[in-house]
Amino acid sequence: MKEIALSPPPLVHNQFESVRELFSRNVVPSYARFDLVLSHGAGSYVYDVAGKRYLDLGSGIAVCCLGHAHPAITEALVEQSKKLIHVSNLYFTEPQGRLAAELVKRLGAGKCFFANSGAEANEGLFKVARKFGHAEGRFEILTAANSFHGRTLAGIAATGQDKVKKGFEPLTPGFRHVPFNDLAAMRAAISPATVAILIEGVQGEGGVTPATPEYLLGLRALCDEKKLLLFLDGVQCGHYRSGKFQSFQRILENVPGGEKFLPDGVSMAKSLGGGFPIGAFWVRAPYADLLGPGTHASTFGGTPLACAVALRVLEVVEHEKLDEQARKLGAGLRDELEGLAKKYPAVVKGARGLGFLLGFELADKIPGFASSSQPAAIQFTNRMHQAGVLVIPAGAQVIRLLPPLNLKPEEAREGIGKIEEIVQSLA
Ligand SMILES: Cc1ncc(COP(=O)(O)O)c(C=O)c1O
C-alpha cells in the first residue's frame, strides 16, 4: 500500500517571510510598515524574530513608558485579571473610580471619561464642545495647522494635515485649522459658530513643536473672553513625557501666571496604560456634567483591567521619579542632538522638544541619500534599524525620539552614539 505522508516542514523555517506573508494576505495594508518582525522585548530593548536586539527609542510611539515586559505591568494584569476583567459601564468598579481620582488630582477639579484610544478621547472632547455650544448653535472647533488628533472621521477633520484627509471627503463639518503658535491668527479665525479651540501642548506627529508659554496663556485669555472651551490634546506629549504630568504644566512652569493656567479639557491615551490600551479625557469642573446619562459611552472604556494597569503605571512613574529622569536625560539627549547639528550641518538642521519627546530635523539634501526617492526620515530610520535602534519618523524630515521614561543613562549614551555613527556616515 502506498504510504500517505504529509510533506515535511521546511528545514529552515523563515519566520520573517512567513509573518510578512500572513500580513500581505490577511491584514489591511493601511500602514507603511518597516521591514522588521518583532517578537519580544525586555526593558528598553526589543528583539526581532531572528534574535537581533534593538534599543527602542520610540516605545511604540510614546506608549511603553515603562519599557517592555515591566514586571509591575505584568503583575497588575495578572492580579486584576484573576478578579475582574470587564463588566461594562452599567455598573461601578473601583479601579475606574480610583484612576479618575488620580487624574483629577494631577489636573484640577473636574471629571474623567474613559475610552480606548487617543482618537476616541478626542471624540469625547468634541462631543463636550458640541453640547456646550448646542443651544446657541455654536459647533466649530479650531485646531492648529500641522496638528494630529487621530484617524476617526472627526479625528481626520480635526487634524491639520491634508495627507490624513485625502480620499475621505466629505469631511465631518465643524473644524478649521489655524497656524500654530500664532495667537493673532487664532483670534482672527474665531467666527460666531466657534465653540472651542484644540491644540497639542507639543505637536508630535507634526514634527515635535512645543507651544510657547505666551501662546498657551494667550489662548486661555482668548477663550475666556469669547466663551470658548480650551482643549489640550495630551495623547502623545502627556503622561510625564515632558518632565511633568502634562506638557502645558512643563511649558508654563516658572512662567508668571502659569500656575493659574488650566485648560477646560485634556485628552490622554498612549502612555496612560504603558502599552495596555486605554484612553481618557478630563473635563474641568464647570463642564464636567455636560455629558449626562445616555449621551456618551464605550463598551470597553475604563475596564477594571485597563484601569488597574494605568494605576500601577502611575504608581511606578511617580515612585521611581521617572518624570525627573525624562527631564534630565532628555535635556542631555537634546544637547547632544544640538551638538550633532553644529558638527554635521549637512545632515542635521537642528533639534527640539521637551523631556523625552525630542525631534531632530534632517537637512534638505543629505549627501548620503542622493540616489533614493524615499523621504529622508524613512531612510534615516532604516539606517538606525540596521544599527540596532528604533526611532520614529515624523513627516518627511524629522526623526522623533520617544524613549521609555525609565531609559537608563547608559542606554541614552548607546542611542546617541548610534545616531552619531549614522549621521557621520551620511555627512
Ligand atoms: C496628539 C495625538 N492625538 C491623538 C492621537 C490618536 O491616538 P490613537 O492612535 O490612540 O487613536 C495621536 C496618535 O498618534 C496623537 O499623537
Q: What is the per-residue DSSP string for 55-85?
A: EESSHHHHT-TT-BS-HHHHHHHHHHHHH-S
**pLDDT score at 371:** 74
**pLDDT score at 400:** 98
Distance 146 CA to ligand 1 centre (A): 13
Which of 63, 148, 231, 232 has the most ligand 1 atoms within 8 A of CB, as the residue to mutate?
148
Torsion of CA 79, 80, 85, 89, to 10 degrees: 170
Across the chain, mean pLDDT equals 96
Please give the radius of gyration of the chain, using alpha carbons only, rounded to the nearest integer: 23
Would you say residue 12 has pLDDT above 50? no
**pLDDT score at 73:** 98
Residue 390 has phi, psi (to 5 degrees) of: -95, 125
Which of 236, 247, 278 has the most ligand 1 atoms within 8 A of CB, as the residue to mutate?
236
- Nearest ligand 1 atom to the CA of 236 is 16
pLDDT digits (tens, 9 = 90+) for 200-243: 999 999 999 999 999 999 999 999 999 999 999 999 999 999 99
- Which protein residue has the closest C-alpha to ligand 1 atom 7? 118
**pLDDT score at 10:** 47
- Which protein residue has the closest C-alpha to ligand 1 atom 3? 149
Residue 218 has phi, psi (to 5 degrees) of: -65, -40
Would you say residue 26 has pLDDT above 60? yes
Would you say residue 245 has pLDDT above 70? yes
**pLDDT score at 7:** 55
39/53 Cα distance (integer angstroms): 10
Distance 279 CA to ligand 1 centre (A): 10
17-46: average pLDDT:
96
- Which protein residue has the closest C-alpha to ligand 1 atom 16? 236
**pLDDT score at 11:** 44
pLDDT digits (tens, 9 = 90+) for 149-204: 999 999 999 999 999 999 999 999 999 999 999 999 999 999 999 999 999 999 99
Would you say residue 1 has pLDDT above 60? no
pTM: 0.96
- 145 closest CA partner among 194, 214, 203: 203
Q: Which protein residues touch ligand 1 with a CB less than 6 Å away?
A: 61, 117-119, 122, 148-150, 200, 204-205, 233, 235-236, 269
b/e for 378-416, b at 16 or more Cβ within 10 A? bbbbbbbbeeebbbbbbbebbbbbbbbbbbeeebbebbb
Distance 96 CA to ligand 1 centre (A): 22
pLDDT band for 297, please (50, 70, 90 cuts): very high
Helix (H) or strand (E) holding 343: helix 322-343
User: Please, what's the largest Cα pairwise distance for the chain?
Assistant: 92
What residues contact 8, with CB distance under 8 A and at least 6 apart?
none
- Say what percent of the chain tops pLDDT 90: 94
Distance 118 CA to ligand 1 centre (A): 5
3-class DSSP state of 163? helix
**pLDDT score at 426:** 95
Distance 153 CA to ligand 1 centre (A): 13
Distance 155 CA to ligand 1 centre (A): 9
For residue 364, list its beta bridge partners. Answer: none
- Nearest ligand 1 atom to the CA of 203 is 1
pLDDT digits (tens, 9 = 90+) for 379-427: 999 999 999 999 999 999 999 999 999 999 999 999 999 999 999 999 9
121/332 Cα distance (integer angstroms): 32
Distance 282 CA to ligand 1 centre (A): 16
Which of 235, 272, 300, 357 has the most ligand 1 atoms within 8 A of CB, as the residue to mutate?
235
Which of 232, 270, 276 has the most ligand 1 atoms within 8 A of CB, as the residue to mutate?
270
Query: Count of alpha carbons within 13 Å of 123, Cβ hemisphere only?
Result: 20
**pLDDT score at 368:** 86
pLDDT digits (tens, 9 = 90+) for 130-142: 999 999 999 999 9
Distance 200 CA to ligand 1 centre (A): 10
Of 215-219, 336-340, 371-375, which range is least confident? 371-375
Distance 205 CA to ligand 1 centre (A): 9
Taking each helix axis as running N to C, give the angle between helix 322-343 and helix 409-426, from 0 to 180 degrees, rounded to the nearest 10: 20
- Nearest ligand 1 atom to the CA of 270 is 10
CA-CA distances (angstroms) from residue 425 to 45, 253, 390, 418? 24, 39, 18, 11
What residues contact 359, with CB distance under 8 A and at least 6 apart?
207, 208, 351, 352, 353, 394, 398, 399, 400, 401
Helix (H) or strand (E) holding 125: helix 118-133
Distance 81 CA to ligand 1 centre (A): 27
Distance 247 CA to ligand 1 centre (A): 15
